[in-house]
A = this chain, B = another copy of it.
């Protein structure tokens, strides 16, 4: 499997796909840099007047809820409508799902548009699925990973999305398959927007694998985890980690990737 994943990494470098992100203010710089570091070309636009035209020229669309407001939610809907019309894959990052009723309501509207891929942490995936699960299971009950897997399966069943639950172990769920990745390092959680970066990279990978969102998600998450591990070895704290992580995305070689990858299907 690692050879297949490495081929995807090379494919992103070779094809340099355009990725349009409607994302949050906090991570715009860091996710644009991550996209550039893996060889992709980021676009970040949100004006209603140009959403349709901008989405028409890209290979994938990334929708991130972080600092949403009504204007940006409208931008998201305009962009997704065009992506769906042109069969351009799009990735949803449900940042802060469950934190407020407004956020949940907006997310429910986006789910109905059937994201190609959803990537969130266990709490977010549980919150997303809570409306679509049986009432005896609540978000607040527990947040064990097995429960998030059920939630991911529910989301896949209802909306057809590949769902990635990221954490110490990343679990990627599709209708008939599940992949687990055990790379990464706890210090990554002390750098803002690492989850958002994972989502952005997933956009780059699905742009070069528009017909195989499962493969794209696994490749993006594998690269995140291994590049993160390599970067932590050279870092003294989260400041240097943010910098070294971008360097690792740019310099990573097949041998390093193969040696460290911990994947199970």
Contacts and interface: CB of A to CB of B under 8 A. Distances in A.
A237 B248 contact: yes
A120 to B, nearest CB: 16
Contacts of A27: 29
A230 to B, nearest CB: 11
A245 B190 CA distance: 14
Q: Which of A49, A70, A242 has the most CB of B within 10 A?
A: A49
A238 interface: yes
Interface in A6-38: 24-30, 32-33, 36-37
9 contacts: A27-B29, A45-B68, A45-B100, A46-B69, A50-B102, A53-B99, A57-B99, A240-B246, A243-B243
For the residues of A in contact with B, the DSSP-based class is helix
A247 B243 contact: no
Contacts of A238: 33, 36-37, 246-247, 250
A95 to B, nearest CB: 9
In the complex this chain forms, how many copies of it are found? 3
Interface residues of A, number: 56
Interface in A52-104: 53-54, 57, 66-71, 96, 99-103
Contacts of A48: 69
A247 B236 contact: yes
Contact of A96 (B45, B68, B237, B248): B45
A174 interface: no
Given A29-B26, A29-B30, A103-B50, A37 B246 contact: no
Contacts of A244: 239-240
Contact of A36 (B54, B101, B191): B191
A192 interface: yes
A49 B239 contact: no
A258 interface: no
A71 B193 CA distance: 25
A240 B193 CA distance: 18
A44 interface: yes
B240 A242 contact: no
A144 B239 CA distance: 35
A113 interface: no
